[in-house]
Amino acid sequence: MNDGLDSPFAFNLAELAPSDASSEEALERFWAGDLTVLSQHHTMPNGSHRFVLAHDRSVTWGIPGAPQLVAVAVARDLSRGTYTFETSYHATASFAQNWLVERGCPPERITVPDSSYIKPADDLTVQVEQQIRESGTRYKVLDTHTSDSEPCETWSLVRDSSAAQMPVRVFHEEWDYDAGTYTMREGAFADVDAARSWLDDRSGPLPEPPEYSDHNGAIVRARVARIALARSADAAAIQEAARDAPRTPPAGPVQQPVRRLL
């Protein structure tokens, strides 16, 4: 999403002072040269708050498995002449979006457009990502891993503060670049050792959370059904627009879709 500003990293902080030492240090460490913006949002007046989700290409040359997505939150207080500047790295877009939402960004304003990147493979993927994005402080991330080799995947090992059973969760994202899709699934474990054992061995399918099958299962199914209906309506609208579009050849070379860097 582009909200009409010339550059996602033109934070306009030259005339402002950092509100705290951590903001000053975060800005000094910040380097935009290796970042590819996936989504951004700013608020009025004058873009006083800026939220950016980006992929950091430099991470691929660093520690193997390190998270590659960075979330940036900037708040400019023009009345006091100060700013706050925060960054946070995450393995998946949905956890980065959650971090931004917790800092005031509306969830719907920081989504990654399907039109430009690899798409969710199914409605359950969309539901799980939405659950993470809007979870507040429910999940405490304990560990993550990102793999660029086959199978291309990420996982986030978290503790779910709202889970009555199996409180340790694994959110596993896997990409199929040939199909142009990815899946996100949630698994539930009794403790961290059990979760790490599954991640090491992959001896069976990712165990579903208990709430998928108890009385809350109906809630999960209803959410997935609503998502399926909304996606179907969006697809129909896109097809309708394509039918109505003028059949004129492009003026220049056709730009290929950007492969999602998540």
List pLDDT tens digits, range 91-107: 999 999 999 999 999 99
Split at pLDDT 50, 70, 90, the class of 239 is low
Mind listing the pLDDT tens digit for each residue in 38-77?
999 988 766 689 999 999 999 988 899 999 999 999 999 9
Among candidate residues 244, 225, 223, the one with its CA nearest the CA of residue 233: 225
Angle between helices 93-101 and 123-133 (to 10 degrees): 30
E-strand stretches of the chain? 17-18, 35-42, 49-56, 69-77, 82-90, 119-120, 139-147, 153-160, 168-176, 181-189
Task: Please enumerate in sequence order all residues whose Cβ is within 8 A of that of 20, keeping only pairs 6 or more positions apart, or say none.
Answer: 84
pLDDT of 21 strictly over 60: yes
- Whole-model pTM? 0.80
- Rounded to whole angstroms, how far apart are CA atoms 160 and 209? 11
3-state secondary structure at position 203: coil
Mind listing the pLDDT tens digit for each residue in 153-212?
999 999 999 998 999 999 999 999 888 899 999 999 999 999 999 999 998 999 999 988
Among candidate residues 223, 229, 235, 230, the one with its CA nearest the CA of residue 127: 223
pLDDT of 236 strictly over 70: no
17 half-sphere exposure, CB direction, 13 A CA radius: 5
- Rounded to whole angstroms, how far apart are CA atoms 58 and 21? 25
pLDDT of 245 strictly over 70: no
Task: Please enumerate in sequence order all residues whose Cβ is within 8 A of that of 134, keeping only pairs 6 or more positions apart, or say none.
Answer: 98, 101, 107
- Rounded to whole angstroms, how far apart are CA atoms 29 and 21? 12
- Rounded to whole angstroms, how far apart are CA atoms 227 and 27? 38
Split at pLDDT 50, 70, 90, the class of 5 is very low
Residue 81's alpha-carbon distances to 12, 17, 30, 173, in angstroms, are 12, 6, 21, 42
Q: What is the DSSP-derived secondary structure letter of residue 6?
A: S
- Rounded to whole angstroms, how far apart are CA atoms 2 and 15? 25
Place of tokens 């165990």: 207
